[in-house]
Amino acid sequence: MDVPRAGWSDGPPKRLHPRRGEPMSDFNETLAPPPAPAGTASQEDKTLALLTHLSGIVLSFIVPLIVWLIHKDKPDKSFLNDQAKEALNFQITVAIGYAICTVLTAIAIGVLLMPILWVVNLIFCILAGVKANEGVAYRYPFALRLIK
């Protein structure tokens, strides 16, 4: 008969949520990207998703916002709706980054960070556009998920 040893036999002890009393997770579910929509998208939806992502390079969050507002209530446009929300969330994140860079120009670091932010935006928008045109639901590596 095996006697359990003292210590953590089944892993570290679980922390409990202070109000709900249930075990807490180390992973914050609110920051996790939403699941990709199921099913296949039409070529038109893929092309619109491509244009939605690429428009962020020049027009910021305007085009993703318009596309999302037009298609948010159409269940047959779930892929396009998902990609428009993803592009919109990322462009809002980039706009916040530009605002922070503008404030930081007072101490000269914002002047250095702004071109870096532009290049990051350019690269991720191109990657997202290519993946969306392939029919893959792209998730930006970092984006504030404000629109759910």
Q: Which residues of the chain have pLDDT under 50?
A: 27-30
CA distance 62 to 49: 14
Q: What spatial distance separates the first Cα and last Cα of the chain, rounded to whole Å?
A: 53
Q: Could you tell me what percent of the chain has a pLDDT over 70? A: 74
In this predicted structure, what is the pLDDT of residue 65?
Answer: 92
CA distance 9 to 135: 45
pTM above 0.85, yes or no: no
129: nearest Cα among 33, 54, 62, 44: 54
How is residue 58 written in tokens?
A: 């020049």
50: nearest Cα among 125, 120, 140, 133: 133
